Amino acid sequence: MFFYTTLLLWLIIDILSKQIAIIYLQNKINILWDFFYLQFILNPWIAFGIKIPLFILKILTISLIIIIFYYYNNERKKILNKKLFDFSFWLILAWAIWNATERILYSNVVDFIWIKYFAIFNLADSFITIWAIIYIYILYKNKK
């Protein structure tokens, strides 16, 4: 139950943050000079604004999903902390599916967090990155 409540809460936060961005972030709002700011954009690219041709993106997405599921199923048997491992995997997958759904429905993803010279992203991208780091850390600690 905790997992589903957490997942639902964070998906709602992601949806609300994107709706707020659409309504209130039409103009740039500087947070840290001109280095870090908020502004709404419809991003046709993948996480952090990485540009990949659509054909390659589709092949890459399908391949990554297969590889991730395969790796998850094989590694899960060896993991000591299965709850955190499962939790991180399913949260990453949920946010990735949410972004993919948004891309399929609208051909873009709503992004609004800008870091100059780095990327533009949204909360789902941030959550995926944080939980992917945790997921990799669990794998690393388990290998020791």
Which residues are annotated as catalytic?
Answer: 111, 125
Q: In residues, how long is the chain?
A: 144
Backbone angles phi, psi at 7, to 5 degrees: -60, -50
Task: Output the six-digit token pair for 19.
Answer: 């709706």
Task: Output the six-digit token pair for 93.
Answer: 């997958």
Pairing status of strand 119-121 against strand 109-115: antiparallel
- Taken in order 107, 44, 121, 96, the sign of the CA dihedral is positive
Q: Tell me which residue has tokens 């103009």.
A: 27
